[in-house]
Structure 1
Amino acid sequence: MVHWDVATTEPASADRGRDGVELQLCDVWRKLLGRTDVGIHDDFFSLGGHSLLAIRLTVEVRRLFQVDLTAADLLAAATVAELAEIVRRGSAGGTGQLVRIQAGSGGSPVYALPPVSGTVLLYPPIARAMGADQPFWAVQSVGLLPGETPLASLEEISEAFIEQLRAVHPEGAEWNLIGYSMGGLLAYETARRLKERGERVGLVGLLDTRIVVEAGADPDFALRALLWRGLKLEVDVDWLRSLTPEERAKELVERAVAAGTMPADFDADRLRRMIDMYQFNLDALAAYRIEPYDGTVTVFRVTDRSMEDGTLPEDLGWSEVAARTVVCDVPGDHFTMVEPGQVEVLGRRLREQLALAGDAPDTALA
């Protein structure tokens, strides 16, 4: 049974964003209002927003989502959660997979690739822990948005991500890629492909990612992960299994919206796509055949290994395929390393290794 990626569906606090639209709107508000944190239910004007900032807000929304807001829209939707509903209706899924987690103030961006859930909601705390000045983007899996068909292999997924990221990657900047669990394998494969094409690759950060993943046979894996780590709902899984897929999705959406862990405009079809995404990604993992990488990877290895069976090597096997492997210890276990109390150290370690990667020769850290 694959159990090591259950913690990837939601951030520590859903109040800071429950999907890519809300995450990006919170980032825009922080930048415009000069605040360090914004919740999805905070009022724009109560936080210091005014007419001139509102105009700048409409410009940013048009740039990020290709949606034109009116003054009436802003007055009727004064919170991130309310505004996100308008943006989703207006964009009709046209925002793609890119999510800007943090605008930052300069330097080479960090790109975070998705874990097996396909979502990017665990990355905002990591971005904040790296510092508000660090540009930080994330990419969600193809297949979560309406009309998208999931990709069948890690190789295809990696190619699609490269195409998406080129749209925002600064010319001449090095590529810094990180990933949690399965996201680390995607970061590795993406770095390998970029380097083969002569691109400059900086940090390749693998957040407790194993080189080998044993695909599981638990039919309820996705459902359990979504319930307990994502929707924060206490629901009997056996009872849910007795429902039809349509009844199950409708029941979960109603409960999650009432609990505030899903946006009010979330529908059952979108929830079904989230559950299906786990299986698509697990199938892609099972079929992946890793190839050598002529560069350095940095493994962020948890110090609490009580969940492991004691047979995993210190570098989780990456020295078998990478030209050089750096192991960087971080507190917590596989799940808690990205949660408050531990993620702050992870952010600092990432920042340190990012600086070292930028100072080092193209092939490896000094």
Structure 2
Amino acid sequence: MNAAQTAVIPSAGPVAPSLVRQILLDIWSTTLKHDVTVHDNFFQVGGDSLTALVTIEQINQRLGWRLNMGDLMRFQTIAELSTEKAQPQAANTESALIRMSNRGSRTPIVFVHAGHGMVDGYGRLVRELGADRACYGLQSPLLVEGTESVPDDIQGLAGLYADALQDEFGEDEFHLFGSCAGGALCVELNRIAADRGLVIGRTIVVDGYIERGPVSAMSEDELIVDFYEGVLRMSGSTEHFPAVSPQDVDLEQALRNSAAAIFGTGLGFDERAEAFCRRLYLSFVSTARAWESYRPEPADVDLLLLLAQDNYTLDEWSSAVKGELTAEVLDSEFYGQRLCIEEASYLVARTVTYLGES
């Protein structure tokens, strides 16, 4: 009798959204090569021992969990796995550079983290762009256990990331893809690429922001609200949690609600979940402060720039990019990393065309 025959099928009732469940959906849909739901049994919708091993590797890489085959045999749906086997972290805490898809013959793409420091928002892009290609995610090092501090400016962060990319790729070519604050990091990585021995092919930026003039620094309360709202948007759970304003925000409550949005309410809020959310918040603050002080010098980089409707920085990008700038304002109600989720198919099509691939 096989695993699918012995599995207990859970009730297909509604399951509250969470960031972890969204990441699991992205991973399963990628390895199984079709859409799945949180109630689909892995082994009944096309999974076998080989795809199970690949799926487990991706879960461990992207979420930092420590699953084995026995875990997937016991918890065969995402609803079960995210409730019964969930671990209170949603990013790899051992390495800043992680591989998000299998290797292939096409030039790899490195996805650079946005403000929160995680690369979860790129999952749907990886699903389509990762066919016959290795996709990597560059996370904030502050998510890695043992890392206490990082450079406090975009240039310093880019230098730190260049070391990780050099260790992985050497003289091999790769493309860059960044959204939000990741766009500025992409510019600086291109600026130092030649000196650091990096071979960057093409660069794609989605809804990136840069400024030429002074930027008012956000207050601590404003940063907490921005962090909290960003987590809710990324997890698709905004309607499930109360809105807050800088006048009434409380960091501890924001972290508690963020943990529920990331891991699901079934996990509870324990010390490990709190520790992860605090690292995530520190990563967000570090990136936000670095971006506030960033004033780019013109860089010789060719770049595809895809902006949300309300992004006001096209002129700034035109001044900062001295190579070939291909820019487009998208007709979409989404912005930031959520744009990479909701408009993934269009972004993939534009990226493939820009890379000269069929």
TM-score by length of 2: 0.72
Once residues 16 and 302 of structure 2 are traced to their aligned partners in structure 1, the CA distance between those partners, rounded to angstroms, is 35
Q: 1:43 to 1:264 in 2, by over 3 A?
A: farther
Higher mean alpha-carbon deviation, 154-163 vs 247-256, is at 247-256
CA contact (8 A) 1:15 1:41 kept: no
Contact 2:108–2:134, Cα closer than 8 Å, also in 1: yes
For 1:38 and 1:92, locate their aligned partners in 2 and report how far apart those are by CA, in whole Å.
22
* CA root-mean-square deviation: 4.4
Cα distance in 2, alignment partners of residues 282 and 80 from structure 1: 33
Structure 2 CA distance for partners of 1:138 and 1:197, relative to 1, 3 Å: same
Asked if residue 285 in structure 1 is aligned to residue 288 in structure 2, the reply is: no
What is the total number of aligned residue pairs between the two structures?
A: 332
Q: Relative to 1, partners in 2 of residues 1:199 and 1:165: Cα closer, same or farther, differing over 3 Å? A: closer
1:192 corresponds to = 191
Q: Which residue of 2 aligns with 1:229?
A: 233
Instruction: Give, in angstroms, the shift of residue 177 of structure 1.
Output: 0.8
**Range that drifts further, 221-230 or 63-72:** 63-72
In 2, are the aligned partners of 1:62 and 1:68 still within 8 Å (CA)?
Answer: yes
Gaps of 5+ in 2: 1-14
- Cα pair distance change 1:235/1:256, threshold 3 Å: farther
Seen in structure 2, the aligned counterparts of structure 1 residues 65 and 299 have a Cα distance that, compared at 3 Å, is closer
Change (3 A) 1:220 1:62: closer
Separation of aligned partners in 2, 1:147 and 1:69: 22
Pair 1:239–1:284, CA change in 2 (3 A): closer
- Checking the alignment, whether the CA contact within 8 Å between 1:109 and 1:136 is kept in structure 2 is yes
SS in structure 2 at match of 1:110: strand
For residues 154 and 283 of structure 1, do their structure 2 counterparts lie closer, same or farther at Cα, with a shift above 3 Å needed?
same
Paired amino acid for 1:183:
G
Letter in 2 for 1:191: N
2:47 pairs with 1:49: yes
Tell me whether 1:270 sits opposite 2:276 in the alignment.
Answer: yes
Q: 1:167 to 1:42 in 2, by over 3 A?
A: farther
Instruction: Determine the C-alpha separation between the residues in 2 that align with 1:278 and 1:69.
Output: 28
Corresponding residue for 1:103? 102
- 1:73 is matched with 71
Of the structure 1 ranges 66-75 and 131-140, higher mean CA displacement relative to structure 2 is found in: 66-75
Residues 335 and 63 (structure 1), Cα distance of their counterparts in 2 relative to 1, 3 Å cut:
closer
Residue equivalent to 1:299:
305
**Residue range with higher mean Cα deviation, 253-262 or 217-226:** 253-262
Q: Which moved more, 1:260-269 or 1:234-243?
A: 260-269
Aligned residue in 1 for 2:9: none
Shift of 1:268: 2.0
Distance 2:26 2:341 in 1: 19
Distance 2:348 2:117 in 1: 21
Which segment drifts farther, 118-127 or 180-189? 118-127
Structure 2 CA distance for partners of 1:210 and 1:29, relative to 1, 3 Å: closer
Measured in 2, the distance between the counterparts of 1:196 and 1:241 equals 48
CA gap of 1:52–1:149, structure 2 versus 1, over 3 A, is same
In structure 2, what is the equivalent of residue 320 of structure 1?
319
Contact preservation (8 Å) 2:116, 2:283? yes
**Contact 2:241-2:257 within 8 A present in 1 as well:** no
Find out whether 1:164 has 2:164 as its counterpart. yes
Shift of 1:328: 2.9
1:327-338 to structure 2, matched below 5 A, reads 327-329=326-328, 330-332=330-332, 335=335, 338=339
Once residues 315 and 266 of structure 2 are traced to their aligned partners in structure 1, the CA distance between those partners, rounded to angstroms, is 37
| Contact map agreement 1:129 1:346 (CA 8 A) in 2 | no
Q: Quickly say closer, same or farther: Cα 1:300–1:45, change in 2 above 3 A.
A: same
- Separation in 1, partners of 2:347, 2:89: 37
Mapped to 1, the partners of 2:242 and 2:167 lie a distance apart of: 42
1:346 maps to: 347
| Counterpart amino acid of residue 73 in structure 1 | D
Return the offset for 1:144.
2.6
In structure 1, C-alpha distance between the alignment counterparts of 2:315 and 2:277, rounded to whole Å: 33
Q: Give the percent of matched residue pairs that are identical in Structure 1 and Structure 2.
A: 20
Per-residue CA deviation, residues 124-164 of structure 1 (Å, 9 max, x unaligned), is 23334547444322211121344332412222322232233
Task: Tell me how far apart the structure 2 counterparts of residues 255 and 148 of structure 1 sit (CA, whole Å).
Answer: 25
CA distance in 2, matches of 1:79, 1:276: 33
Moved more, 326-335 or 276-285: 326-335
Alpha-carbon spacing, 1:222–1:145, altered in 2? closer, same or farther (3 Å) = farther
Work out the CA distance in 2 between the residues paired with 1:234 and 1:68.
29
Contact 1:16 1:26 in 2 (8 A): no
Q: CA deviation at 1:293?
A: 2.5
TM-score normalised to the size of structure 1? 0.71
- Offset at residue 191 of structure 1 (A): 1.6
Q: When you count helix as a share of all residues, which structure comes out higher?
A: 2
> CA 1:156/1:261 → structure 2, altered by over 3 Å: closer, same or farther?
farther
Q: Distance in 2 between matches of 1:17 and 1:236?
A: 18
